[in-house]
Structure 1
């Protein structure tokens, strides 16, 4: 499969614009720490704090949201070790479906083991997101991990096409996915590379009118009998995971592998709308060579949902910026999925500008995946294949900016975000 000329042009334009913005707009200032109160700074900062400001354009085009244009300014605050310990990024976007969206994103890394992130976003039409995440890899002692998230959001671009990998484009429907809830987990290291994780998750989901004109509302084509949860649902689930990892880093790995297996159970007796179980497995592998100028990365994942009454958004889904990057989120839904991601992360150059050291990467990738009613029903003919290329800027030890351009059978998709896709 070859990439259309339009996608190649989009990718080239993004790289040029991002590079020019970094060259022309970045500046460095020294700001008294007393003017940057906690949580912007902490005891790891000097009295004079180096702050690098980088203005950037926002250019994205995904199958669900459409074209989004805007601008942001990233403020990078450096601690006494000259590491980026705080990132603040106010942003303003325009999308014809949602109007003007104002966003404030913040990422805070007070220690190498602890981080928390906040995302506040409000659009003039339907969309909104208020999310807080916390992670501590040495909670109480180096044996324990703690992670938690609280979120309230509405996504007016959500799609449903029907179940199975053969769900057709002409069955496309739109709705607003409105969710309120949170989750928390505690991990315990039994020994150096192996840990058990115990998690709790609760949320309330409402299905409302969508924001995309010209696409039918989900209940115009589907019924509650054929699509469980179409009128909203509640989840209260408990999860246990086993993880074995030889990765050299939790946030930016370059070598090693990680295997994870988990079981999650939802109980009506504890407040869920339905009883069902979710079984998941994932294997990730990182192989560096040429002094890590090239890193081959692979992920193999699978999922099986047991229980016919499981809400449709709790089933196995593929599509979006972390799975099949040539398709929009929720493009494929069924009880099970199999997924293979392959990408080659190529360091083009290491660049120090305004005393900010960053690695600029090119990442050609291939994503292969399929959903099915049961893993035993997997068929080679049902798998979707998309190819693409990613552009990444990595500011160690913890900041990654990403643009991924994927092309599937339904055209190109451009995803812009933070962090590696996997």
Structure 2
């Protein structure tokens, strides 16, 4: 289904929404002083698409709670979906923003075939008089749509295989300011991976197809890694910035003595920036990133990976895998109009973009033939300061790819 058709369905479904004012004695208010809670209820069709998962359709109802500033402070969205690979899926997604310095997101999802997802993400910047930032992400999921094509920029679509990626783990980090706009982060992550039979029966099974190849991690692996990051940021918002820059340098190490299947080191650097015109009608956004992972018997899912809704949008997830990568994302976020329906203010954006990147054994090995160029167009509905839905259509040598989801790509 075309992106414009999807956008039209969303616009039409908003007309079926309604606004209620519920006493805070019945429904706890986001702000203690609120005598009532403004609750906007919007039924929506679910029409999602990605190269790996295919088309998913169904329905959800979004419940938006507002605080005393008339901002969306919480979102709850139960939904039921249907997909030819995963069968019927029931999901409950929630996002709560008690204050600009705190956020909680969770997702509970179970399919009749293979897929499941249980996760919670917490961020708190209010500790120690706003001197300490804590981030935590806990997850347990099975993705039956995962792909593997082989290693390197020359991996062929003819070698596309499918597997189920079963993962359990956490990622935690603590940040402390070193100077104005500069933070030091210490992180720890645990990741346990099992590889099983996937849900896409039309593709070969990865473990069988690559049985004779040297693919470390194909029988599962564990990673326990620690990281140090230095971040400089002048962004005007953490999640949905419209101006400023953010630069990050990260070093991560994984040791067998601490429970990892393989010893390796990872080095990454990223700079992204947002440059608006005075009324923010146009925002030029860009990101450049480079990374390298070195180690022996390095699991294939711990290497540098490009492809998917947040990197090369002309390809599905896991399309290119090797030890190093470079990536450049450029897009122009153009606000077409601002529309208020049932007291919900939404900005509707058009975003032409181009994604450029490639993988190789080392960054120095990359040549022009290794670089992929994916132009595309995005459509976004933005409810500031916290919620964004998007449709991105990217084009590559494998054909077009359509992604429907939440949040900016970077």
TM range, normalised to the smaller chain?
over 0.9
Residues of 2 paired with 1:347 and 1:155: CA distance?
34
Q: What is the match of residue 12 of structure 1?
A: 4
Unaligned 5+ residue runs, structure 1?
Answer: 1-8
Q: What is the match of residue 348 of structure 2?
A: 360
Q: Residue 17 of structure 2: which of 26, 29, 38 is its match? A: 26
* Superposed displacement of residue 32, structure 1: 2.1
User: Which shows bigger deviation, 245-254 or 259-268?
Assistant: 245-254
Q: Residue 168 of structure 1: which of 135, 143, 156 is its match? A: 156
Secondary structure at the aligned position of 1:226 is classed as coil
Secondary structure at the aligned position of 2:242 is classed as coil
Secondary structure at the aligned position of 2:6 is classed as helix
Map 1:37-52 to 2 at 5 A: 37=28, 41-44=29-32, 46-52=34-40
User: Which shows bigger deviation, 57-66 or 113-122?
Assistant: 57-66
Residues of 1 paired with 2:246 and 2:296: CA distance?
31
Cα contact 2:262–2:296 (8 A) shared by 1: no
Map 1:318-337 to 2 at 5 A: 318-337=306-325
How many residues were matched structurally?
410
Secondary structure at the aligned position of 2:2 is classed as helix
Residues of 2 paired with 1:325 and 1:121: CA distance?
25
Deviations for 1:323-367, whole angstroms, at most 9, x for unmatched residues? 011111001100011111010000011112211111111111111
Q: Residue 378 of structure 1: which of 351, 357, 366 is its match? A: 366
Cα contact 2:194–2:220 (8 A) shared by 1: yes
Cα contact 1:45–1:78 (8 A) shared by 2: no
Cα contact 2:290–2:326 (8 A) shared by 1: yes
Residues of 2 paired with 1:67 and 1:86: CA distance?
28
Map 1:46-65 to 2 at 5 A: 46-65=34-53
User: Which shows bigger deviation, 214-223 or 162-171?
Assistant: 214-223
Q: Does 1:310 align with 2:295?
A: no
Residues of 2 paired with 1:36 and 1:205: CA distance?
40
* Superposed displacement of residue 223, structure 1: 3.5
Q: What is the match of residue 326 of structure 2?
A: 338
Quickly say closer, same or farther: Cα 1:414–1:250, change in 2 above 3 A: same
Quickly say closer, same or farther: Cα 1:266–1:349, change in 2 above 3 A: same
Cα contact 2:30–2:66 (8 A) shared by 1: no
Residues of 2 paired with 1:34 and 1:417: CA distance?
34
Q: Does 1:186 align with 2:174?
A: yes
Residues of 2 paired with 1:178 and 1:294: CA distance?
41
Residues of 2 paired with 1:110 and 1:124: CA distance?
34
Q: What is the match of residue 35 of structure 1?
A: 26
Residues of 2 paired with 1:45 and 1:78: CA distance?
13
Q: What is the match of residue 3 of structure 1?
A: none
Secondary structure at the aligned position of 2:130 is classed as coil
Task: Give the superposed CA RMSD.
Answer: 1.3
Deviations for 1:89-137, whole angstroms, at most 9, x for unmatched residues? 1111110000011110000001110000010000000000000000011
* Superposed displacement of residue 410, structure 1: 1.2
Cα contact 2:326–2:359 (8 A) shared by 1: yes
Q: Does 1:390 align with 2:382?
A: no
Deviations for 1:206-263, whole angstroms, at most 9, x for unmatched residues? 0000000121111222148611100000010001100011112212211111110101
Q: Does 1:148 align with 2:139?
A: no
Cα contact 1:44–1:80 (8 A) shared by 2: no
Residues of 2 paired with 1:10 and 1:344: CA distance?
21
Map 1:267-286 to 2 at 5 A: 267-286=255-274
Q: What is the match of residue 6 of structure 1?
A: none
Residues of 2 paired with 1:357 and 1:204: CA distance?
42
Cα contact 1:45–1:79 (8 A) shared by 2: no
Q: TM-score, normalised by structure 2?
A: 0.98
Map 1:57-96 to 2 at 5 A: 57-96=45-84
Residues of 2 paired with 1:185 and 1:401: CA distance?
27
Secondary structure at the aligned position of 1:210 is classed as coil
Map 1:135-284 to 2 at 5 A: 135-223=123-211, 226-284=214-272
Cα contact 2:30–2:73 (8 A) shared by 1: no
Unaligned 5+ residue runs, structure 2?
Answer: none
Residues of 2 paired with 1:12 and 1:356: CA distance?
22
Cα contact 1:224–1:230 (8 A) shared by 2: no
Q: Residue 418 of structure 1: which of 391, 406, 410 is its match? A: 406
